[in-house]
Amino acid sequence: MRFNLEYAVSHLPIILKYAGMSMNIAVVSMFFTVFFSLAITIVRYYKIKVFHQIVNLYIDIFRGTPLLVQLFFIYFGLPQISPVFVSMTGYQAAIIGMTLNAAAYMTEDMRGALESVPKGQIEAGLSVGMTNLQVMRHIIVPQATRVALPVLGNEFISLVKNSSMAFTIGVRDIMAEATLLGNSSAKFFECYLDAFIIYFAISKIITILQKYLEKRLNLTGGGRYDSH
């Protein structure tokens, strides 16, 4: 079957309409990932007993298994264990799964950001009567946040790309629409090419904005670009 350029061009706007759902999943997941990974990082940073061991086990599990398996386990498996999860939607399962997965990776980057704060400043804060929580809030977090900003941008790109797995649990996103159109027309190449272009364009736009922000703030840093 020959490639149909007209079909690909005409259906690009149709698939693009569902980019909003993909971005919604990525943005919401990013929001929860930042706060959850920060909480995990603080537990590991201060080596809080019991919680430290639980956190390490969680990280091992979510870094040692594929995201797709995690999404299936959450969406299809948890409802069989507890009735609490029976009414869970694919969208909610995608947010939970992507947040847990991303936080397991981001906590390493955040720990590096926290450890980048000079020990002298931490000791100075403690010496004037500040508690560990006050030192974390007023000294460590503000400085670590600037170091972690580039990492956050890279992580957001990963979440955008990983959101493409949400269609496997019933979420109507870019990949879902491309797959449905491909099934109905048998023009899979054209439909997936459109999805390819959309994801690539979104990633490039985010990268450009990230580099602009880094330049404005004069930051340097790294992070994960590959999906988990």
- CATH number of residue 201's parent domain: 1.10.3720.10
Classified as helix, coil or strand, 55 is: helix
Q: Which two tokens stand for residue 177?
A: 């629409």
Whether residue 195 is contained in a domain is answered as yes
Spell 65-98 as b/e; 16+ CB within 10 A means b: eebeebbbebbeeeeeeeeebeeeebbbbbbbbb
pLDDT digits (tens, 9 = 90+) for 175-202: 999 999 999 999 999 999 999 999 999 9
Give the span between the Cα atoms of 61 and 84, in whole angstroms: 23
pLDDT at residue 99 tops 90: yes
Q: Both ends of the chain: CA-CA distance in Å?
A: 34
pLDDT digits (tens, 9 = 90+) for 105-160: 998 888 777 777 777 877 788 888 887 778 877 777 777 777 777 788 889 999 99
Label residue 119 exposed, middle or buried (CB < 10 Å: 0-12, 13-18, 19+): exposed
- HSE, CB side, 13 Å, CA atoms: give it for residue 136: 12
Give the span between the Cα atoms of 68 and 169, in whole angstroms: 9
pLDDT given at position 98 = 97
Averaged pLDDT for residues 84-106: 96
Whether residue 165 is contained in a domain is answered as yes
Whether residue 158 is contained in a domain is answered as yes
Give the span between the Cα atoms of 162 and 90, in whole angstroms: 15
Q: pTM for the complete prediction?
A: 0.84
Quote the DSSP letter at residue 164.
G
The boundaries of the domain holding residue 20 are 5-217
Extract long-range pairs of 130-134: CB within 8 Å, 24+ residues apart. Answer: 132/46
Split into its structural domains, the chain has a count of 1
Whether residue 25 is contained in a domain is answered as yes
